[in-house]
Amino acid sequence: MTPLLIQEFQNICGKENVWEDKVERAAYSYDAAVLDPVIPALVLRPTTQEALGRSVALCNQNGVPLTVRGSGTNLSGGTIPYAHGVVIVTNGLKRIVEINEADMYAVVEPGVVTAKFAAAVEQKKLFYPPDPGSQAVSTLGGNVAENAGGLRGLKYGVTKDYVMGIHFFDVNGELIKTGSRTVKCATGYNLGALLVGSEGTLGVFSRIILKLIPLPAHRKSMMATFPTMRSASETVSAIIAAHVVPATLEIMDQFTIQAVENFSHAGLPTEAAALLLIEVDGHPAQVEDDAARVETICREHGAEGVRVASTAAERDGVWAARRSALSALAQLKPTLVLEDATVPRSRIPEMIVALEEIAKQYDLTIGTFGHAGDGNLHPTILTDKRNSSEWKRVEAGIEAIFDRALAMGGTLSGEHGTGIAKARFLAKETTAGTILYSRRIKAALDPNNILNPGKIIGE
Ligand SMILES: Cc1cc2nc3c(=O)[nH]c(=O)nc-3n(C[C@H](O)[C@H](O)[C@H](O)COP(=O)(O)OP(=O)(O)OC[C@H]3O[C@@H](n4cnc5c(N)ncnc54)[C@H](O)[C@@H]3O)c2cc1C
């Protein structure tokens, strides 16, 4: 990085938004994945659309790799930069440009924090359902780039289901607009669909048009305790098979329950072997009906207790506790590997057994929780990366988890993306032809390979 180039970035972004100091740069060298940090050559914080586009173009003209970063909460190494590259952090682009109540959409800049956006639309009795466990910190740009899921995926889908359009800067700094503000749009190629989940490898989002839906009138949350993870997971399948679709259907094993309770003191039953946390929402009459059916199914499948949250504070407390699962487990060991291999939901009981077998076979401590209702479990391996023999077993265990999920017709990632962490496993899930097509798309849109190199399809 020459002084002249740094000067040009300063001219574009303002001197105060270009960070050269090693300590400042080190803060952008890692994300939430367990991967070795890489300190970038420079960090930029553009605060205008123009500065964002010009920064991208300047990187390309000079062959400087660039990694866009929202809040760096991704779990797949998506924001680990290149040593001689630039990190472009989006928290200077955090305007909610428009919330259109009549047409139920919003236009946002990429650096808007997910929970702040959800709260802003809720004030207008509108609803933006995608809710990653990290929503208090993560950004909408990061969510779209990872196609983030969350606790409500079962009923409401994931981020891709709410993206109506994306405006992005291509590698030359040209503004490309996809999608529209209409509910339907069948014009041209569906380029937006290609950009969702592209993890910063195909373009840099500058604005996103998001679909909103009416806020559900009523919600009811309940907690059911079970004697085994197997009975809890069979209950999940039974609820789905009965065609009841809760907004949220989460599972936790005893190890996770105890860690979460020690961390959050929300009143979770630490003696339970397994827990289902369920929320139903909608019209009040429908909510009552669904809640009654869910309770019956839980009891028929051996639930030891079913508790309905009686106040909003109680409900919010339980969900906040659930969202703290990763942080709670992270307190127990120096290294935490949280996976998200996903199976068709009817195979959840089988996957639970597989995880128990893998923990035993590789002598690993695995806490399991996750979005059981959509087949997306988060087996979390607690370890210490400095212990090299244990780390080898961890790596073997992770691969075994992927293999078992794929054998059940599942996928490597339900919501955390591919990044660096899963790039080498891609061929296990998809064909050589699909990888070749992906490489051709990347080469066509980014011939100099400067947009987040090494992610998804590897080097
Ligand atoms: C405690 C915790 C709980 C979590 N729970 C969930 C969960 O329930 N569901 C889930 O899906 N994930 C979850 N995650 C993972 C993570 O929060 C998501 O992947 C989230 O979408 C990342 O958002 P971010 O703003 O931190 O993006 P970052 O981590 O900064 O970036 C993620 C990717 O997006 C790209 N990117 C960012 N901004 C742009 C842009 N403007 N244009 C193009 N590309 C861009 C980056 O280059 C990178 O590849 C969790 C993480 C933590 C730490």
Q: In this predicted structure, what is the pLDDT of residue 361? A: 97
Return the exposure string of 379-399: e unless at least 16 CB atoms fall within 10 Å of the residue's CB, then b.
bbbbbeeeeeebbebbeebbe
Tell me the Cα Rg of the chain.
Answer: 22
Give the closest residue (by CA) to ligand 1 atom 36.
142
Sequential pLDDT tens for the chain (459 residues): 899 999 999 999 999 999 999 999 999 999 999 999 999 999 999 999 999 999 999 999 999 999 999 999 999 999 999 988 999 999 999 999 999 999 999 999 999 999 999 999 999 999 999 999 999 999 999 999 999 999 999 999 999 999 999 999 999 999 999 999 999 999 999 999 999 999 999 999 999 999 999 999 999 999 999 999 999 999 999 999 999 999 999 999 999 999 999 999 989 999 999 999 999 999 999 999 999 999 999 999 999 999 999 898 999 998 999 999 999 999 999 999 999 989 998 899 999 999 999 999 999 999 999 999 999 999 999 999 999 999 999 999 999 999 999 999 999 999 999 999 999 999 999 999 999 999 999 999 999 999 999 999 988
Q: In this predicted structure, what is the pLDDT of residue 459? A: 82
User: CB of 86 closer than 6 A to ligand 1?
Assistant: no
Q: How far apart are the C-alpha atoms of 294 and 280, rounded to whole Å?
A: 9
Q: Give residue for tokens 């001689």.
A: 84
User: CB of 141 closer than 6 A to ligand 1?
Assistant: yes
User: CB of 67 closer than 6 A to ligand 1?
Assistant: yes
> Which of 388, 356, 422 is closest to 146 using CA atoms?
422
Locate the ligand 1 atom nearest the alpha carbon of residue 32 and give its number.
Answer: 53
User: How far, in Å, are 108, 246, 400, 407, 417 from residue 285 at the CA level?
Assistant: 35, 14, 45, 41, 38
> Which of 376, 458, 459 is closest to 418 using CA atoms?
458
Give the strand order in the sheet containing 86-89: 18-19, 42-44, 86-89, 66-69
> Which of 11, 27, 78 is closest to 419 using CA atoms?
78
Say how many Å lie between the CA of residue 32 and the centre of ligand 1: 9
The DSSP output letter for 344 is: -
Say how many Å lie between the CA of residue 47 and the centre of ligand 1: 20
User: CB of 133 closer than 6 A to ligand 1?
Assistant: yes
Say how many Å lie between the CA of residue 140 and the centre of ligand 1: 8
> Which of 87, 32, 35 is closest to 59 using CA atoms?
87
Say how many Å lie between the CA of residue 135 and the centre of ligand 1: 9
User: How far, in Å, are 121, 148, 232, 456 from residue 126 at the CA level?
Assistant: 5, 20, 33, 34
User: CB of 273 closer than 6 A to ligand 1?
Assistant: no
Ligand 1 pocket test: pick from 69, 116, 418, 455 the residue with the most ligand atoms within 8 Å of its Cβ: 69
User: How far, in Å, are 63, 117, 188, 282, 416 from residue 210 at the CA level?
Assistant: 33, 11, 19, 21, 20
Query: Could you tell me the two tokens for 341?
Result: 């291999």
Could you list the beta-strand ranges (E) of 61-162: 66-69, 86-89, 96-100, 105-108, 126-127
pTM equals 0.96
Ligand 1 pocket test: pick from 74, 166, 178 the residue with the most ligand atoms within 8 Å of its Cβ: 74
User: CB of 418 closer than 6 A to ligand 1?
Assistant: no
> Which of 6, 23, 32, 28 is closest to 82 using CA atoms?
28
